[in-house]
Amino acid sequence: MTEDLVPSLGRWRLWEQFALRGPGFPADGVLRLAPPGLAEAADTFDVDAPLDGVRWEDFARLFADAAVETAHTLQDIARMPSFREAVAWQNRPVLVSGIAPFLRWTPGVDKRSSMPRQREELVAHYWQRFCVKNDTIGFFGPVGWGRWDAATSGVALGTGSGLVAESTVYWASWGIDALARTLDADPGLREWVAPRRVPFVTVDGDRVRVPGRRPVTVPAETAAVLALCDGVRPARAIAAALPDHDVPAVLTDLVARRWVAWRLEVPAGTHPDRDLRTWLETVGAPGPRRRGLAALDRLEQGRAAVAAARDVDALVGALTDLERDFTELTDTAAVREKSASTAPCRALVYHDSRRSATARLGPEVLEALRPLRLLMDSAGWLTSRLAAALRTGMRPVYERLASEGTVDLAAFWFACLPVLHGTVRATAGELQEEFAAIWRRILAVPAGARRVDVRSADIEAAVREEFPGSGGWTAARYLSPDIMIAADGAEAVARGDFTLVLGELHLAANTLGASLFTHQHPDVGELVRLTDRDHPGPRLLPLLPKEHRARLSTRVRHTLIRPRDYQVALTDFTADPTRPRAVRSADAVVEEHGDDLVVRLPDGARFPVTDVFSHVLTTLSMDLFRLLPEDDHTPRVTLDRLVVARETWRLPAAEADFTDDKDEARRFVRARRWRARLGLPRYVFVVSPAESRPFYVDFDSPVYVTILAKALRRLSRQDQQGLVTFTEMLPTPEQTWLRDDEGRRYTSELRFVAFDTGTG
């Protein structure tokens, strides 16, 4: 029996629910790649010891034997069905090009040529991600859930049965969009597609206005057709309503003017296939409807086969068949090339899973978390200052437009873009520097310190004085902190033998509202009820593109949107056009309300104009929280029992003197000397501008040292001044409390949601 604890940290109320994030492979998996005793033997060669002679030859033989043993271990890993299945989801061609030949190879001291070593590194690189990265994707990063519980001492863990309780395969939106484009080319379906006026085109009788251009007077026939382009009426219905007009010709002209979109569009959502099916079933022409449904059914059968696959060979076969069918139906490549303009979902389908394990946290953990309120209060200062910069920049824009008449939101939005991407963006950079400088002064970090321990009571007054204000825009009332528990098991937490570690503090966003979380919750209605408590009334939310680069895709799209909430389309209409509270920007008005600017919607509802810019503001603020300046070295900082900054080094890649050594044994010894000279810990995470993701390095593991050396070489070739960031791994693989029903231990982090009750 649990007793809900409604936790709060000062003015910040935490949701009773939190997400439990962790990989799908045990943490000690990476330790298998650190040969016992090898690091100690390497360290017997102190900085002045020559790397030659009899003693060196003995070590070289020991190293060579350990390398062969590690190769066998990596082959054992690569043979694991679960490992190969995870790789199949990540990058299926690697199974053929890298994993299969690696498994056919027989390791030996004299057989470790360049290509087998590259394949060792390939397996090791995937392995570190699957074992120690708290990513959320598929069965190798399943989402778990937990709640605060007043009756729990420390942390109580329910392991459940197996690793995953439930797993679902979803369509990437771009794949269904490609099918929609193909269906759109069917002349029999064309008249059933509903044209829609683009959101920023304003229509007033026979006058049409586009932001930044002079109004245009159009013929009565054009105005009549344009007035009916609401995204709901099919073209044939418009033609029936205007029998004396050449509707197809007018629509063609409106599309050419870019005032109207007349194409089959699938609303943004987690289940685009369902939305497309719903539309197809409205088509009154039997033949075209059957053709469209048959194409969708064929793809859906392929997705179902992928979901039903129970081993890696079946999965590979099902994915291959699905991609073949997709290409035949759409004449489109089934895998998108990685680029700066595409979101992360490159494959046709992806899967997310719910972890079997659940957790409950008690009052002792909440008490240890209390220093976090100081950081969250200071984060409120960041968002309030950023919003203030926007308000200051918007005021002259509004006054200029208002001098010419009523200000519609579309014109205001476009006119404010130079403010957003100029003044406000520059202010964000200045705020980040000021924020870190203030915190450094508050924390009084001594020069050269490696550990800084501060009592939160000693700095509370200074934080309150230095960081006044809060809020900024509605979404800024949310913060989403990632917290890790460093403890040797749940029992240690219950004894009070634990440390909390702050991972990231996500500003101005409830990240648990993302599709990848909500659709793995056993009762999404509970998350909606928590949202209702935070926002009893409606919110105004900007409609976002379906996807954009690395930070916007189907998986991260916010889904805790209630019927009472309004959505405003600024440049693109990605919602269901039949949704009652979806509004075009051209149909909303910006006006003064007291000292503030507000948006007035067609039904009279008013909202702060900053809410229209919330996505841009959140994007600008999400990386601003940096507690200390980016110096060459910053210490671990602990407030009471909460580590708020892990020890970090920023080092020139070109100055790492071990990276070019061709001999593996010499490179390993020299890397350990380099690490000792700098004071780096055994386990680190590395961020390099030349690598797509952070990666784990264990300096006791030759294969991970080699991966590091290659990364440093790549960066130094690209940029002789390039800096690489090393951050201590905390908790370490040994400090894990999350277990499965077989006792295997996993790294993890807790994703909380905090709501600012002090603003409104």
**Mean pLDDT (whole number) for 179-193:** 96
Bridge partners of 209, per DSSP, are 202
**pLDDT bracket for residue 29 (50, 70, 90):** very high
Q: Please give the share of the chain, as a percent, with pLDDT higher than 70.
A: 97
Q: What span, in angstroms and rounded, lies between the C-alpha atoms of 753 and 331?
A: 43
| Residue 671 contacts residue 658 (beta carbons within 8 Å) | yes
Q: Which of 155-164, 206-215, 544-553 has the lowest mean pLDDT?
A: 544-553
**Mean pLDDT (whole number) for 464-469:** 92
Segment 571-627, tens digit of pLDDT: 889 999 999 999 999 999 999 998 899 999 999 999 999 999 999 999 999 889 999
**pLDDT bracket for residue 472 (50, 70, 90):** confident
Within 13 Å, how many C-alpha atoms sit on residue 44's CB side? 9
Q: What span, in angstroms and rounded, lies between the C-alpha atoms of 294 and 328?
A: 13
- State yes or no: pLDDT of 69 exceeds 80: yes
Look at residue 12 and give its three-state secondary structure. Answer: strand
In 243-348, which ranges are E strands? 260-261
**pLDDT bracket for residue 365 (50, 70, 90):** very high
* pLDDT attached to residue 217: 96
| Residue 698 contacts residue 34 (beta carbons within 8 Å) | yes
- State yes or no: pLDDT of 699 exceeds 50: yes
3-state helix, strand, coil in the chain (%, to 5): 45, 20, 35
**Mean pLDDT (whole number) for 386-406:** 96
- State yes or no: pLDDT of 318 exceeds 50: yes
Q: Which of 432-441, 493-502, 551-560 has the lowest mean pLDDT?
A: 551-560
Question: Sign of the C-alpha dihedral, residues 76, 81, 86, 92?
Answer: positive
**pLDDT bracket for residue 339 (50, 70, 90):** low
Q: What span, in angstroms and rounded, lies between the C-alpha atoms of 102 and 106?
A: 8
| Residue 377 contacts residue 456 (beta carbons within 8 Å) | no
Q: How many C-beta atoms lie closer than 10 Å to residue 335's C-beta?
A: 15
Q: What span, in angstroms and rounded, lies between the C-alpha atoms of 745 and 23?
A: 10
**Mean pLDDT (whole number) for 1-22:** 86
Q: What span, in angstroms and rounded, lies between the C-alpha atoms of 308 and 523?
A: 24
Q: What is the DSSP letter of 563?
A: T
* pLDDT attached to residue 371: 98
* pLDDT attached to residue 206: 93
- State yes or no: pLDDT of 760 exceeds 80: no
- State yes or no: pLDDT of 552 exceeds 70: no
Q: What is the DSSP letter of 598?
A: E
What rounded mean pLDDT belongs to the chain? Answer: 94
Q: What is the 3-state secondary structure (H, E, C) of 26-79?
A: CHHHHHHHCCCCHHHHHCCCCCCCCCCHHHHHHHHHHHHHHHHHHHHHHHHHHH
| Residue 160 contacts residue 35 (beta carbons within 8 Å) | no
* pLDDT attached to residue 85: 97
- State yes or no: pLDDT of 550 exceeds 70: no
**Mean pLDDT (whole number) for 24-47:** 96
Q: What span, in angstroms and rounded, lies between the C-alpha atoms of 669 and 41?
A: 9
Give this prediction's pTM: 0.95
Sheet holding 207-209, edge to edge: 202-204, 207-209, 216-217
Burial of 244 (0-12, 13-18, 19+ CB in 10 A): exposed
Q: What span, in angstroms and rounded, lies between the C-alpha atoms of 234 and 231?
A: 8
* pLDDT attached to residue 212: 87
Which DSSP string corresponds to 126-170? Answer: HHHHHHH----SSTTS-EEEEEEBTT-SSEEEE--SSSEEEEEEE
- State yes or no: pLDDT of 343 exceeds 60: no
Which DSSP string corresponds to 690-754? Answer: TSSS-EEEETT-HHHHHHHHHHHHHHHHH-TT-EEEEEE-SS-TTS--EE-TT--EE--EEE--E
- State yes or no: pLDDT of 163 exceeds 70: yes
Query: What is the distance of C-alpha 599 from the center of its chain?
Result: 30
Q: Of 722, 336, 379, nearest to 549 (Cα)?
A: 336
Q: Of 693, 683, 691, 680, nearest to 651 (Cα)?
A: 680
Q: What span, in angstroms and rounded, lies between the C-alpha atoms of 249 and 255?
A: 10
Helix (H) or strand (E) holding 643: strand 642-645
Look at residue 1 and give its three-state secondary structure. Answer: coil
- State yes or no: pLDDT of 113 exceeds 90: no
* pLDDT attached to residue 470: 72
* pLDDT attached to residue 342: 46
Q: What span, in angstroms and rounded, lies between the C-alpha atoms of 138 and 164?
A: 9
Q: What span, in angstroms and rounded, lies between the C-alpha atoms of 52 and 57?
A: 7
**pLDDT bracket for residue 21 (50, 70, 90):** very high
Q: Of 19, 11, 15, 12, nearest to 484 (Cα)?
A: 19
**pLDDT bracket for residue 249 (50, 70, 90):** very high
| Residue 187 contacts residue 375 (beta carbons within 8 Å) | no
Segment 421-436, tens digit of pLDDT: 999 999 999 999 999 9
**Mean pLDDT (whole number) for 644-661:** 97
Segment 507-535, tens digit of pLDDT: 999 999 999 999 999 999 999 999 999 99
- State yes or no: pLDDT of 255 exceeds 60: yes
Bridge partners of 261, per DSSP, are 196
Angular region, 533: left φ>0, alpha ψ -120 to 50, beta rest: alpha
